[in-house]
Structure 1
């Protein structure tokens, strides 16, 4: 009987986010393969109890360090203790500072353990200061493989630290796709939908400006749903008042049933200033929701302009408004985008495909 491969997935928390959603879907899908045992370790407490419950009901163990301070170095010893006690073969890490803590832990662990890191974004604040090249250089040096969600993520990482080139590999993200859909039978409550963190990176101010342009220039009074939370929420609400669109925009906060909200919307807009993969895009594609997104980061690898969606320049509210209006007005064009996007997500971005690619990588890295 073959020995099962034991994997520990380490992430900051399991609160709502793209990387967290991907990890949840991965461990649930991987559970179907008896050759692997996959557990999760989180650094910080998770507020999303339902997310934890959904993972645990699939018999996936979760070790939570419940750190009170973001950069508590005691985490290094705690991670080391879990890895030693459970005798993991592979430690797969997502996001910073989890990547740093595991890199430090590896200094005190046996050499036969393999470490993998997934790079989810084309940019982070550390890349603004050259001193962090030394820090990141050390962190990445402890990982034998770096998975990048898109080619653009891979290129930006290699540009930052060229030594990483030989250890990087692109594995696109995936999402569960259900064959049956009742999209056409659901009432469309919202004309425009945004889902994501309310932070500068997501470019939400340009979406709000586009809504104002739609109202004043195109005489189109669209109803908008903003799903998610973050530090810019108050600022964005004030902006809505200033633009006199506050009666058209609903801030719904964090929502669990994203599929339901997507099915009840007409157009999905992702106006990001930078983006690694944008897992929310494949969520929209599987829900047959037409997409308008900015032509940045890894987005053009997922969406071909005019084929699976419309791509616009970043920080351009005029073109964003024009593109949203086209999708809303042109039913034939909208139908084309929906059909092409759904075919593409089925072919390239299923959670089954992603999980198989990742489990194969786990096996290959142990055989080297």
Structure 2
């Protein structure tokens, strides 16, 4: 059986799809399954010219809005690139982005196409202040879910929480499968270490949706209480200057290390003690599973797919979105008690190893793929 994994952009950074698909492909190929990757290079811009049509709604009623126009042009570019570079046939296509899924079904209508919805682009844009809720861009992006339902052979997503989110926009949500992301146990694993001062780490894109302003305010309260810590902030994004200025004004700049973008944070993530990310939205939150596999204690928000990974007080701590006092209390608890945070991290590792291993996701996907095997 020859399977194509169709991504959006190339898998060049850790987290989410980029962290999972290449290593998943390697596992499948070692077991005798033929599998290849396909994606749109970031340098391809403005090449496609073919008209775009959807079957369940008229996208042109939303034309003229920047997000919509960019989305449609990217769709055209994906069509152009696929026609240019695709030179072989596949038995099954598994797409990991709506554009990749719809383009593949358009160009190969007789091939089964599966789609995993990994995240909510529209929620991210709203939380980052790029579009308005219920505005034309929001309506366009959420209409894509119904289009996917109508044209895909199977829809999957990464958490029960996100399946519930999708239910508002599709007609038969019960048909959506749930397969949480899987992670290579060889890349993410604990390392014995001893830090005199608690080392906190977060890994994310520096955008408002990640709630890093809440984290800095909580860290400032932690410093006022006289609790020592170092926060390692890995990632880059448009609000980095704003966060650095905020750290200066809160008198915690000396306690924070801004690393910028890093290709392989898993190489030294195991040497820290606590992973904290107060996101305002997460479909799954892959980086929590990665941190758990490294043996870190977890602190996250009670939103999206995060509570499906963190059982409060058992393998981590959950706090309400935007609640500085609750986040401060959680940070104080894990920072002040080395044994407590060690136990949280140990239980987090055990759960992640059982629930989010690459072995588990490969087996689940095999069960999804098998019905599409050729019988001849």
**What TM bracket, shorter-length normalisation?**
0.7 to 0.9
Q: Determine the C-alpha separation between the residues in 1 that align with 2:34 and 2:291.
A: 31
| Partner of residue 184 from structure 1, selected from 188, 192, 197 | 192
1:86 is matched with 88
Please, what TM-score do these two structures have when normalized by structure 1?
A: 0.84
Please, what TM-score do these two structures have when normalized by structure 2?
A: 0.82
Kept in 1, the 8 Å contact 2:316–2:344? The answer is yes
Uncovered stretches (5+) of structure 2, i.e. residues with no partner: 47-69, 126-130
Q: What SS does the corresponding residue of 1:31 show, helix, strand or coil? A: helix
1:11 is matched with 8
Question: Is 1:107 aligned with 2:99?
Answer: no
1:200 is matched with 208
1:330 is matched with 337
Kept in 2, the 8 Å contact 1:189–1:264? The answer is no
Q: Determine the C-alpha separation between the residues in 2 that align with 1:175 and 1:108.
A: 31
Query: How much has 1:258 moved relative to structure 2?
Result: 2.0
Q: Determine the C-alpha separation between the residues in 1 that align with 2:300 and 2:184.
A: 22
| Partner of residue 155 from structure 2, selected from 126, 146, 150 | 146
Q: Determine the C-alpha separation between the residues in 2 that align with 1:110 and 1:349.
A: 33
Q: Determine the C-alpha separation between the residues in 1 that align with 2:359 and 2:266.
A: 19
Q: What are the within-5 Å matches in structure 2 for residues 345-364 of structure 1?
A: 345-364=352-371
Cα gap change, 1:338 to 1:21, in 2 (>3 Å): same
Q: What are the within-5 Å matches in structure 2 for residues 195-344 of structure 1?
A: 195-216=203-224, 218-344=225-351
Q: For the aligned residues, what is the CA RMSD? A: 2.5
Query: How much has 1:28 moved relative to structure 2?
Result: 2.0
2:146 is matched with 137
Uncovered stretches (5+) of structure 1, i.e. residues with no partner: 46-65
Q: Determine the C-alpha separation between the residues in 1 that align with 2:174 and 2:274.
A: 40
Cα gap change, 1:110 to 1:277, in 2 (>3 Å): closer
1:50 is matched with none
Question: Is 1:156 aligned with 2:165?
Answer: yes
Q: Determine the C-alpha separation between the residues in 2 that align with 1:207 and 1:290.
A: 16
Q: What is the aligned length? A: 337
